Chain A
Amino acid sequence: MTDVLNPPVHIESPDHGHDEHHGPTGILKWITTTDHKIIGLSYTVTAVIMLVIGGAFAEIIRAQLASPNGNLVSLAQYNELFTMHGSVMIYLFAGPFAFGALANIIVPIQIGAPDMAFPRLNALSYWLYLTGAITMLSGFFVSGGAANFGWVAYAPLSNSINTPGAGADLWIGGLLLTGFSAIFTGVNLCATIFYLRAPGMTMFRMPIFTWNMLVTAILILLAFPVLTAGLVMLYCDRHFGTHIFSVAGGGVPVLWQHLFWFWGHPEVYILALPFFGMVTEIIAVFSRKPVFGYKGMIFATLSIAALSLGVWAHHMFTTGVVLLPFFSIMSLLIAVPTGIKMFNWIGTMWRGQVWFSTAMLMALGFLFTFLIGGLTGIYLASPPLDFFTHDTYFVVAHFHSVVMALVLAGMAGLYYWGPKITGYLLNEAIGKWQFWTLFIGSQVFTFPLYILGLEGMPRRVAVYAHDAQWKALNDLSTLGAVIIGVSTILFVVNVVVSWKKYPAGDNPWDGHTLEWFTTSPPPHHNFYRLPQIRSERPTWDYNHPGHQALHHGQHDEPSQPAPEAPVS
C-alpha cells in the first residue's frame, strides 16, 4: 500500500560517488564532459544566445517596416533577414532550447536516472548543434549573403539558378547538422525514458514534462529523417543535376513542400509539447495541487502527436493540389486535445493556492497568449479562410502568438528550473518587470499584425509603398517589438544582478517531482538518495504525507487508510 513515510532508499552515498575532480577541469572539462547537466547548460546558453540573435534580426525587420518605403536595408538584405530570423528562431532557438536544454537537464533527474542513456551521443548532439548553428549563420560572411528563400526554402526558388550563393548551401548544411543533433537527442531521450526510470517510476507515474518529452522524442524520430532526406535531395538538385524538384527535368516542385511540411507540422508540436510540459508542471506546483486530469492530459498529448502526422498539407491549401476536406478536418480536430489541455490547466488552478511567482506569471502569460494563437489557428484550418489569409500578416500574427507564448513558457521554465541547476534564484522583482514587458510587448506586437493581414498586407515584403496607410499599425507593432526587446535586456540584467546572490536551497517552490528531492545543483550522478515513488509526485508525497492526490468522488481532506492492525 501507499506508504510515503518509509525512510528514503539510499542508492548512493556521498563519499562513494565517482566525483568529477578525477577528470579535467575548466574549459577542458566543458569540452570533454558527458554530464547531461553541463551539456544541458551549454545548450541553454547557446539557445538563449540564438534567441537574442534572432531577436536582433526581428528588431531590424520591424525597424525597416516602420515606414512604407523603408530603406534601412535593401530588398536583398531584407530577404536574408527574415529568412535567417525564422531559421534561427525555429531551428536554432526553439527546438534546441526545448529538447536540448531543458529536457537534457530535467528529464534524467525527473525519472531518478544518473544521466542520459548514451552520454557520449548526448555530447555529440550538442557539438553537432553548435557546429550547425555556426555553419548556418556563417552565410552572412560569404559573397551573396545568407540564405534568402524564407525559412521554408520552397523549390524552385531554392535551386541553384534562383539562389546561386553559398549562403544557401551553408543553410542546408547547418540544418542537416542540427537535424542529426535532434535525431540523436530523440534516440537518447527515448532510451533514457524507457530504460533508466528509477524503481517504482511506472509510465503513469512519470511527470507530465517527461511524458511530453517522450512524445516529442518519438515525433522527432518520425519527422526529422524526412527533412534530412529532403535536404539531401535539395542539395543534389543544386549541385548534381538530379532535377527532383525541377519541372524542366521531369521533377515536381510541390514534392519539396510535402517533404518539408511532413516534417514541419510535427515540428510545430516538437516545439510546443516540451513547453506545454513545462507549463503543466509549473501551474501544478504554484497551485499546490496535482495536475488536473493527469491521465486525460497524457492521452491528449498522444492524440495531438498522432494527428500532427496527418495535417501537413494545411500549409499547402492554396497550392490547389491537395485534398482539402481531409486535411481540414484533421487540422480542426487537433483543437480538441489542445482544448483539453487548456481545461486541464484551469482545473489544476481551480480551488488551489495560486502563488504569483515570476515563473507562474510567465505560465499564465503563456495561457493567454497561446489561447489567442490557438483560436486563430482554427480559422486557418478552414480552407476558404486560409485562401483568404494565407501568406498575409494574419498568418505571421497567428504563429507569433504561438511562439511568443512558447517564449513566455520557456522563461517560466528558466525561472522555475534555473535555481535547480545553478543553485541560485533569480531576482523576483526584476522578473516581474520582465514578465509584464514580455507579455504586454507580445500583444502589442501581434495584435496590429492580425488587422494588417486582414487588410491585405502580404508577409515577406520589405516595402508597402502601395498602401502607405498601413504605417500606423506597423508602427504599433514595432513598438511592441521594442517592448519585447526591453524584456530581453531585463532578463540579461537579472542574470547579472542575481549572480550567485540568492541561494535556492533544494526545494524552493515546494516542488512535486524528483528533481526537487536532490540538491541544487544536483551531485555528479544526480542523487544520493531517492524517496519511494508511489505517484507522479514523489517529492510532494514525501514532504506532505497525508496529502496524496484524491480519486474522483473523494472531495474532503484525505481520510488516511486506517493503518493495518498488527496481527497478534
Chain B
Amino acid sequence: MLTPALPPQGATVRARRWRRLRRAVALPLAALALSGCTVPSFGASPGATSSSKSVYHLWQGFSIGAAVIGALVVALILYAVLRYRRKGDRIPAQSQYHLPLEVLYTVVPILIVFGLFAATLVVENKEVSNPKTNVVVDVNAFQWGWKFTYPGTNALVYGQTTQNPEMVIPVNTNVRINLSSSDVIHGFYVKAFNFSRYALPGVLNQFTIRAQNTGTYFGQCTQLCGLYHSLMWFRVKVVSQSDYASWIATFNNPTAEAAAKAASKTTSQQTASLVPSKPSSTKFGR
C-alpha cells in the first residue's frame, strides 16, 4: 500500500484525490466509447453467420477482461520483484495475513465470473436454439469425407478428402443441420462460422446456422479420425435464395433422383438404427 507522505487534510484533499481518480477511470472509458466499433479483434473475426458475430463479440468481451486482469497481475508481479528485490541481509517484516485484502481478491473474481457466465448464457442460448425452418441438410461424416443430402429434394453432394464436397445453402435463411457419423467421431468445423460440433456415431446432432454473407467457406474435420484426418476437407457455399432454388432444381432428373433415393435410404436407415430415441433437447443446451 502506498501511504501518502502527508496525512490528508480534511475534505478538500479527499475531494481532489477523488476527482483525480475519477478522471483516471473516466478517460480511458471515454476513449473506448468514442472509438466506437474499433474494439480490437483480439485475433478473432466476425465470421459469416449471425451466431458467429455474437461469438465474436463475446470473444471481445472476454478478451478485454483478460487483458485488464492480465495487465494488473503482470504489473503487480513486476512491481513486487523489482521494488522488493534483495538488497541486503535484513529480514523483512514477517507479515502473513491481511483479511480485507483476501476477501477482496476472492469476492471480486466471483463477481467477474458471474458476469462472464451471464454473457456466455446469452450467446449460448442463441447458438443452440433450433428455430423452425424448411431448409434442412443431412450432413454425414465418414472416413474420410462428407455427404450432404437435402431431405425432400434430390440434391446430393458427396466427396472424399481433398475433393472438397460443397454444401450449398441459401443466405439469410435458417438452415437446420442434422449431423451424423457412419464410423468414428468427426468434427464439423467451419472457420467462418466460429463454430464446431462433433459428428458422433449413434447420435443425431442438430444445430441451425444463418449465413449472412454469400461466399464460399472452407471447412475441415477437426476431431482426429484416423489416417487421412488432415485431409478431410469440405466447403460451404452460401448463395442467394434464388440461386439456391435453381441449384436444387438441377437435381430434378431421373439419375439424380435415383442416386438421392439410394443415398437418403442409407442415411435414414442409419439414423433410425443409430438413434434409439428422438434427439434430446433441453432449454439451455443439449
Q: How far is the CB of B46 from chain A (nearest CB, A)?
A: 12
Question: Is A332 a contact partner of B117 (Cβ separation < 8 A)?
Answer: yes
A–B complex contacts, Cβ < 8 Å, 30 sampled: A79-B227, A247-B202, A291-B96, A293-B96, A295-B97, A319-B205, A325-B124, A335-B113, A346-B73, A349-B81, A351-B95, A352-B92, A353-B86, A353-B91, A354-B86, A355-B85, A367-B77, A368-B77, A378-B116, A382-B116, A382-B119, A382-B120, A385-B58, A385-B59, A392-B189, A454-B43, A456-B220, A547-B91, A547-B94, A554-B95
Residues in B with CB closer than 8 Å to A387 are 55, 127, 194-197
Asked whether, in the complex, the Cβ of A552 is within 8 Å of the Cβ of B198, the reply is no
Q: Which residues of B contact A (CB under 8 A)?
A: 43-44, 51, 54-55, 58-59, 62, 66, 69-70, 73-74, 76-77, 80-81, 84-88, 90-99, 101-102, 105-106, 109-110, 113, 116-117, 119-121, 123-124, 127-128, 162, 183-185, 187, 189, 191, 194-198, 200-203, 205-207, 218, 220-231, 233, 274, 280, 282, 284-286
Residues 48-84 of A, flagged 1 when their CB comes within 8 A of B and 0 if not, give 0000000000000000000000000001101100000
A166 CB-CB contact with B under 8 Å: no
A356-B117 contact in complex given A320-B197, A367-B77, C-beta closer than 8 Å: no
| CA of A154 to CA of B202, assembled, Å | 14
Q: Which chain A positions have C-beta within 8 A of B116?
A: 332, 378, 382
Q: Which residues of B contact A390 (CB under 8 A)?
A: 187, 196, 222
Contact A384 B93 (CB under 8 A): no
A460 beta carbon closer than 8 Å to chain B: yes
Closest to B65 in A: A378
Q: For residue B66, which residue of chain A has the nearest CB?
A: A375
Query: Which partner residue on chain B sits nearest A367 by CB separation?
Result: B77
* Nearest residue, chain A, Cβ from B108: A339
Task: Please name the residue on chain B nearest to A360 by beta carbon.
Answer: B81
Residues of chain B lying within 8 A (CB to CB) of residue A349: 77, 80-81, 84
Q: Are A79 and B224 in contact (CB-based, < 8 A)?
A: yes
Q: Which residues of A contact B198 (CB under 8 A)?
A: 318-320
Q: In the assembled complex, which residues on chain A have CB atoms less than 8 Å from the CB atom of B95?
A: 289, 292, 351, 549-550, 554-555
**Chain A 325-354 near chain B by CB (<8 Å), digits 1 or 0:** 100110011011001101100110111111
Cα separation A322 to B282 with both chains bound (whole Å): 10
Contacts A253-B200, A321-B200 given; does A346 touch B76 at CB 8 Å: yes
Among A132-140, A175-183, A461-469, which stretch is in contact with chain B?
A461-469
- Of all chain B residues, which has the CB nearest A316? B198
Interchain CA distance A384-B206 in the complex, whole Å: 15
Inter-chain CA distance A375–B280, complex, in Å, is 33
Docked Cα-Cα span, A114 to B198, in Å, equals 53
CA distance A520 to B230 in the complex (A): 53
B117 touches A328 (CB 8 A): yes
Whole-angstrom CA separation of A402 from B58 in the bound complex: 23
By beta carbon, the residue of chain A nearest B100 is A552
The answer to whether A551 and B97 have CB atoms under 8 Å apart is: yes
List the A residue with the shortest CB-CB distance to B164.
A466
5 tightest A-B contacts by CB?
Answer: A324-B285, A456-B191, A247-B202, A391-B222, A461-B230
- The contact of A378 among B62, B73, B222, by CB within 8 Å, is B62
Measured CA separation A558–B92 after assembly (Å): 11
Q: Is the CB of A550 within 8 A of B94?
A: yes
Is A558 within 8 A of B94, CB to CB? yes
B84 x A353 contact (CB < 8 A): yes
Residues from chain A with Cβ under 8 Å of B280 in the complex: 321
Interface positions, chain A 434-455, Cβ under 8 Å from B, are 450-451, 454-455
| Residue A142 CB within 8 A of the other chain | no
If A339-B109, A354-B84, A378-B66 touch, does A318 touch B202 (CB 8 Å cutoff)?
no
Residue pair B201, A253 in contact (C-beta under 8 Å): yes
Residues of B within 8 A of A321 (CB): 200, 203, 280, 286
Tell whether A491 is near chain B: CB-to-CB under 8 Å.
no
Number of interface residues of A (CB under 8 A): 97
The answer, yes or no, to whether A496 is at the interface (CB within 8 Å) is no
> Is B187 in contact with A391, judged by CB distance below 8 angstroms?
yes
B-chain residues with CB within 8 Å of residue A353 when the two chains form the complex: 84-88, 90-92
Please name all residues of chain A whose beta carbon is closer than 8 Å to the beta carbon of B187 when the two chains form the complex.
Answer: 318, 390-391, 458
Are A391 and B223 in touch, CB under 8 angstroms? yes
Assess the A247–B201 pair: CB atoms within 8 A.
yes
Inter-chain contact B230/A384, CB cutoff 8 Å? no
Known: A320-B197, A552-B98. A392 touches B222 (CB 8 A): yes
Q: Which residues of B contact A538 (CB under 8 A)?
A: none
- Contact between A375 and B70, CB atoms less than 8 A apart: yes
CB distance from B202 to the nearest CB of A (A): 4
**How many angstroms from the CA of A454 to the CA of B120 in the assembled complex?**
19
Q: Mark A296-327, 1 if CB is under 8 A from B, else 0.
A: 10000000000000000000001111111100
A292 touching B96 in the complex, CB below 8 Å, given contacts A367-B77, A378-B66:
yes
A residues less than 8 Å from B189 (CB atoms): 391-392, 456, 458
Closest CB-CB distance, B27 to chain A, in whole Å? Answer: 25
Q: Closest B-chain residue to A382, C-beta based?
A: B120
A residues less than 8 Å from B85 (CB atoms): 353-356
Known: A382-B116, A387-B127. A252 touches B97 (CB 8 A): no
| CA distance in complex: A458, B73 (Å) | 31
Assembly CA distance A378 to B128 (angstroms): 20
A150–B87 Cα distance when bound, in Å, is 50
Chain B residues within 8 Å of A354, by CB: 80-81, 84-86
- Neighbouring B residues of A557 by C-beta, 8 Å: 93
- A379 and B62: CB pair below 8 A? yes
A281 to chain B, nearest CB (A): 15
Query: Do A288 and B92 have beta carbons less than 8 Å apart?
Result: yes
New A-B pairs, 11, CB < 8 Å, besides A296-B106, A321-B280: A156-B185, A157-B225, A162-B184, A253-B200, A318-B196, A323-B284, A328-B124, A340-B102, A390-B222, A460-B230, A555-B95
How far, in Å, is B32 (CB) from chain A's closest CB?
Answer: 20
For residue A251, which residue of chain B has the nearest CB? B202
What's the Cα separation between A551 and B58 when bound, in Å?
A: 43
- CB neighbours (8 Å) of B87 from chain A are 353
**CB-CB contacts below 8 Å: A513-563 with B:** 544, 547-552, 554-558
Contact: B94 with A548, CB < 8 Å? Answer: yes
In the complex, what residues of A have CB within 8 A of residue B93's CB?
Answer: 351, 550, 555-557
- The verdict on A391 contacting B84 (CB below 8 Å), with A368-B74, A383-B124, A385-B55 known, is no
- With A294-B96, A353-B92 as given contacts, are A340 and B80 in contact (CB-CB < 8 Å)? no
Interface status of A254 (Cβ within 8 A of chain B): yes
Please report the C-alpha to C-alpha distance between residue A382 and residue B121 in the assembled complex, in whole angstroms: 9
Q: Which of B84, B97, B106, B286 contacts A287 (CB 8 A)?
A: B84
B70 & A371 in contact (Cβ 8 Å cutoff): yes
A190 interfacial by beta-carbon distance below 8 Å: no
Q: Which single residue of chain B is at the shortest CB-CB distance from A324? A: B285
Give which listed residue, B99, B191, B230, contacts A462 with CB less than 8 A. Answer: B230
Determine whether the beta carbon of B205 is less than 8 Å from that of A320: yes
Task: Tell me if A290 and B203 are in contact (CB < 8 A).
Answer: no
Question: Would A379 and B59 be within 8 Å (CB), given that A323-B284, A387-B196, A544-B91 are in contact?
Answer: yes
Residue with the highest number of chain A CB atoms closer than 10 Å, among B70, B94, B282: B94
Report yes or no: B92 in contact with A325, Cβ–Cβ below 8 A.
Answer: no
A522 to B118, CA, bound (A): 54
Would you call B274 and A247 a contact (CB within 8 A)? Answer: yes
With a cutoff of 8 Å between Cβ atoms, the chain A residues found around residue B92 in the complex are 287-289, 351-353
Q: In this assembly, does A388 line the interface, its C-beta being within 8 Å of a C-beta of chain B?
A: yes
How distant is the Cα of A346 from the Cα of B228 in the complex, in angstroms? 48
B123 to chain A, nearest CB (A): 4
Report the nearest A residue to B42, measured CB to CB. A454
The answer to whether the Cβ of A149 comes within 8 Å of any Cβ in the partner chain is yes
Q: How far is the CA of A552 from the CA of B286 in the complex (A)?
A: 49
Residues of chain B within 8 A (CB-CB) of A332 are: 113, 116-117, 120
